[in-house]
Chain A
Amino acid sequence: MAYTKVAKKYSGKINEVTLGTGDKAITIGGRNVLPLHHFDGEVGNPPKVGLEITDIVPEDWNDALKDLYSDVIGDAAKWAKYVEDNYAPDFICLHFVGASPDGANKSVEECVEVAKQVADAITTPLVVAGSKNDEKDGELFAAVAEALQGKNILILAAKEENYKTVGAAGALAYQQKVAAESSVDINLAKQLNILMTQLGVKEEDIVMHLGSAAAGYGFEYLSSTMDRVILAALGQNDTTLQMPIITPVAFDTWGVKEAVASETDEPEWGNAEERGIHLEVATAAACLVSGADAVIVRHPKSLQTVKNFIEGLLQ
């Protein structure tokens, strides 16, 4: 008997979403096969990798990373430019940790000012992430979307609690792209996508953020949610789940024990920076294989590795 390939043809296709403008604009999605399954059909746009920077000096970051960026870390615009010039990520994620009411509690005006400076300093597509406080983020995203009109940024993210503000201002009024964030559940993801489209946001302006987790910390829920979403999007041609997926790997991996514990606490474990990079690339690779069309990482070495990894898988 000769070998017969099990053909996989799907009726559905992941939407294409474009971020940024000009030469450096990127497009994600567009495949009608499982993630990175180049041998099955149209694999679409290669997944994209972004690097995270923050609006204020990120006190809880790994010291080695803070040292690496020591000349620019106090000025987000300089930092963004430095990252663009030296590491050439597909996009830059400006993470407004300083907006958190539980932390530095920077005003929306201050944040908008930072966003403007960053956007003016770079030509790389921009993703803005919030403070995890839904109310504050709603105001912040609306103001940033207005200030950066024409830049075609991605707002990360609208949640069930604030999607009306974020969706209306971000996508409807100022034509930015909006990520719809749900917490690791296919039904919640679907529901929020439907709510957003009912609000008038076009499907091609939506990206999904299905939640995130570091490897070892409930990652199976994320991986299986991605599997189910993608099988529904492709196999059942469910148009309410065909948005491409972005996963901010950096936000989780650098906060868990494996990346945070000092060498004094865990002498056998060795250098914390190394641990963080391995955890970050393992998690990012697992996300991409499960279905993420874009991931955000923190360490430049993770960025380089994940870019090579994607290239290797699609060569």
Chain B
Amino acid sequence: MGLTGLDIFKLTPRKNCKECGFPTCMAFAMKVASGAVEIEKCPYISDEAKAKLSEATAPPMKTIKIGAGDNEKALGGETVLFRHEKTFVNRPLFAVQFDDQMADDELARKADNIKKVDYERIGEQMHAELVAVKYTDNKDRYLEIVKQLKDLNKTFVLVCDDAAVAADAVALVKETKPVLVGANADNLEDMVKLAKDNGIVLGLSAAGIEDLYALTEKAQGLDYKELVLNTTGENIAKTFEKTIEVRRTALEGKDRTFGYPSIVFVNELAKGDAYMQTALAATFILKYGSIIVLEDIEYANALPLFALRQNIYTDPQKPMRVEPKVYEFANPDAESPVLLTVDFALTYFVVSGEIERAKVPAYLAVPDAGGLSVLTSWAAGKLGASVIRDMIKNSGLEEKLTRKRLVLPGKVAVLKGDVEEELPGWEIIVGPEEAMQIPKFLRELD
């Protein structure tokens, strides 16, 4: 990190040949320093200079890919500790864990839950992306379970510290690009070889943070860098510390030995308490978990966890938007009022929440207002009478309704006259300024 334009300039041939597309080597070097151009654009750069540069400009945290085909996901690659500093990039993935001690009925129940929890929320498909299978002592049963779970079409996390068993398990599912979590100080060489031979990501486990550091250095020494670090500690406090320290060492300490994604077994920490598991999973969504392992998944824990992940991994520069369309509440009919709001997700959620609370049948029309709040989109010219007219005309509401009432947000009461002109036959009503007044407003609307 931190090579300046001048440092890079010294690595160039300094003959201003323009073959890179820039007028001078200096101009080129400045662009490289800002990350806008790859150093390879210079045909005369030496390999030695290239190596020096790629080492210096590599991101502090590696991006690791797991899963094959449509299941491929990236982990890590984060550059900041707090999302407001830039954004978080690769959302943590959820795994549900099985083991070789499980009876068939329990296995079937959990597999069924994984299938059931699969739904869309604001344009994102929500489901547990991974299945973890843990080896304890029954090899045949372990392999049988891995085989059975292949039907779920998920990426595997094979939790197994016996290299021989792991080799057989990997052979069963290697084309799905699984993660093998099982390397420790005792088996590192065998595990690295297994991972290398199969081209899969290896998870490293060690008790203390110094041990984990030493182990990671050793793995890198064996020339393997497709790694995930198991930051689960002996208890909740230690795990919290370890997970934060690893990320902080990489991003703030600029030490790439810890620049890998993490895996946190919150199922082990929760000790059978499902609510505690949810609290811990929420914690590691915010604080640097890359793979979060759960005991089980049901709508009750999935809904808050996926929703939280979606929020936290939203780019602060690109606020979340909802799909522009007409939303329905409490089975509205031909007489129900049409409320209007914008596609900025936060506004939509507040308004829709209040309409739900009112338990009054209603439509909510959401035009494409640029993902801005009501006043901002109005000020930016994205929520005007013509936008509203087009939205209503294209929505099919005019054909559906016998009584046409459109409720404008109170903040844009000024639009009333214009909208009346654009939408003849509609009664245009100015609604409340604040969402919390909606229930009362709707109940009192005749």
Interface mask (B282-312 → A, CB under 8 Å = 1, otherwise 0): 1101110000000000111101111110111
A201 to chain B, nearest CB (A): 27
* A-B contact number at CB 8 A: 177
Which residues of the other chain, B, contact A278 by a CB distance below 8 angstroms? Answer: 274-275, 278, 300-301, 303-304
* Residue B237 at the chain A interface, CB threshold 8 Å: yes
Complex CA gap A4/B217 in Å reads 13
Segment 239-255 of B: residues with Cβ below 8 Å from A: 240-241, 244-245, 248-249, 252-253, 255
Residues of A within 8 A of B349 (CB): 217-218, 256
Whether A305 is near chain B, meaning CB under 8 Å from some CB there, is yes
B330 to chain A, nearest CB (A): 10
Nearest chain-A residue to B247 (Cβ)?
A6
Contact assessment for B440 and A102 in the assembled complex, using a CB-CB cutoff below 8 Å: yes
With CB as the reference atom, state the residue of chain B lying closest to A227: B82
CB-defined interface of A282-303 with B at 8 Å, one 1/0 digit per residue?
1111100110000000000110
Size category of the binding interface on chain B: 35 or more
Distance in angstroms between the alpha carbons of A2 and B121 in the assembled complex? 45
A-chain residues with CB within 8 Å of residue B257 when the two chains form the complex:
1, 3
Residue A41, interface by CB 8 Å? no
Assess whether A37 is in contact with B282, with CB atoms less than 8 Å apart.
no
Residues of chain A from 25 to 72 with CB closer than 8 A to chain B in the complex: 36-39, 60
Which segment, of A108-116, A143-151, A307-315, faces chain B? Answer: A307-315
Most buried by A among B213, B253, B311, B439: B311
Asked if B429 is at the interface of the complex by the 8 Å CB criterion, the answer is no
The CA-CA distance from A36 to B243 in the complex, in Å, is: 13
Contact flag A281-B253 (CB < 8 Å), given A6-B248, A270-B298 = no
Given A36-B240, A270-B299, A218 and B353 touching (CB < 8 A)? no
Evaluate whether A218 and B345 lie within 8 angstroms (CB atoms) in the complex, with A270-B299, A275-B299, A312-B236 already known: yes
**Distance in Å: Cβ of B327 to nearest Cβ of chain A:** 12
| Chain A contact patch, size range | 35 or more
Residue from B240, B249, B316, B440 within 8 A of A313 (CB atoms) = B240
Say yes or no: is A224 at the interface (Cβ < 8 Å to chain B): yes
A289 touches B303 (CB 8 A): no
Q: Which residues from B are CB-within-8-Å of A217?
A: 307, 311, 346, 349-350, 353
Residues of the A chain whose Cβ atoms lie less than 8 Å from the Cβ of B312: 219-220, 223
Contacts of B15 in A (CB 8 A): none
Q: A227-B84, A258-B303 are in contact. Are A301 and B275 (CB under 8 A)?
A: yes
On chain B, the residues within 8 Å of A221 by CB distance are: 346
Q: Is B222 an interface residue (CB 8 A)?
A: no
Contacts of B287 in A (CB 8 A): 289
* A6 x B304 contact (CB < 8 A): no
In the complex, A60→B356 CA distance in Å?
12
A216 touching B304 in the complex, CB below 8 Å, given contacts A2-B210, A268-B116, A282-B281: yes
Cα distance A1–B221 in the bound complex, in angstroms = 12
Are B213 and A39 within 8 A (Cβ)? no
**Chain A facing B: main interface SS:** helix
**Contact partners of A5 in chain B: CB under 8 A:** 245, 249
Please tell me if the beta carbons of A220 and B282 are within 8 angstroms of each other in the complex: no
Interface presence of A257 (CB below 8 A): yes
Q: In the complex, which of the residues B214, B245, B311 contacts A219, with contact meaning CB atoms closer than 8 Å? A: B311
> Is the Cβ of B237 less than 8 Å from the Cβ of A315?
yes
Question: Are A218 and B304 in contact (CB-based, < 8 A)?
Answer: no
- Note all chain B residues with C-beta closer than 8 A to A274: 300
The answer to whether the Cβ of A106 comes within 8 Å of any Cβ in the partner chain is no
Tell which of B235, B274, B303 touches A315, judged by Cβ atoms closer than 8 Å.
B235
Contact B307–A3 (Cβ < 8 Å): no
Q: A231: which of B82, B116, B217 is its contact (CB, 8 Å)?
A: B82
Most B-side CB within 10 Å, residue of A5, A38, A257, A279: A279
Q: A2-B210, A3-B257, A309-B279 are in contact. List 4 more A-B contacts (CB 8 A).
A: A6-B248, A219-B307, A277-B300, A289-B283
9 nearest CB pairs, A to B: A216-B307, A312-B236, A282-B304, A3-B213, A285-B279, A215-B308, A218-B346, A282-B282, A305-B275
21 intermolecular pairs with C-beta atoms under 8 Å apart: A4-B255, A6-B245, A6-B248, A132-B436, A215-B282, A215-B304, A215-B311, A216-B303, A216-B311, A220-B314, A220-B316, A227-B82, A256-B349, A257-B356, A275-B303, A278-B275, A279-B303, A282-B305, A286-B286, A305-B273, A312-B237
